Amino acid sequence: MNTEEKKIAVIGIGGVGGYIAGLLAKAYPHVTMVARGARAESIRKKGLVLHSDYKGEIVAKPERVVPIQDMGQQDYIFICVKNYSLAEVCESIRDMVTDDTVIIPVMNGVDPGENIRRLVGKGTVVGLSTMAPPT
């Protein structure tokens, strides 16, 4: 499967997650932004607007904007939430993660990758703990 066919989701469309989601949605056709309420409605209507000194102003329109329970199975999932929301997110996505799903935590906290591995129990989690320690 080529990269254009891959399904990518970003959970947590805040400062960091919004930037990642915006750049991904400009580059790939199958991007799902997980959002709810007024934020989700605004993205559906106007797209996600990024103001970047590096990339300029970007308006990204994702393929889908959904609450987490409607996300569906994905090839890549970026988790960009606050650490206190991690357990709830992992519980919500467990049935949507396959053995081939790659999960990328982009968040603060003590070893979010290891916590995701423990809480979800499948997929490949990319995190600092998967890297060799510096020598």
Burial of 58 (0-12, 13-18, 19+ CB in 10 A): middle
Evaluate whether residue 103 is within a structural domain. Answer: yes
Evaluate whether residue 134 is within a structural domain. Answer: no
Evaluate whether residue 135 is within a structural domain. Answer: no
Predicted confidence (pLDDT) per residue in 104-120, tens digit? 999 887 788 889 999 99
What's the structural domain count of the chain?
1
For the chain, give the longest Cα–Cα distance. Answer: 50
Predicted local distance difference test score (pLDDT) of residue 133: 43
Predicted local distance difference test score (pLDDT) of residue 128: 53
Whole-prediction pTM value?
A: 0.89
Predicted local distance difference test score (pLDDT) of residue 123: 95
CATH code of 44's domain: 3.40.50.720
Q: Mean per-residue pLDDT for 3-24?
A: 93
Predicted local distance difference test score (pLDDT) of residue 1: 58
Q: Which domain holds residue 13?
A: 3-128
Evaluate whether residue 133 is within a structural domain. Answer: no
Write out the DSSP string of 30-79.
Answer: -EEEE--HHHHHHHHHH-EEEEETTTEEEEE--SEEE-GGG----SEEEE
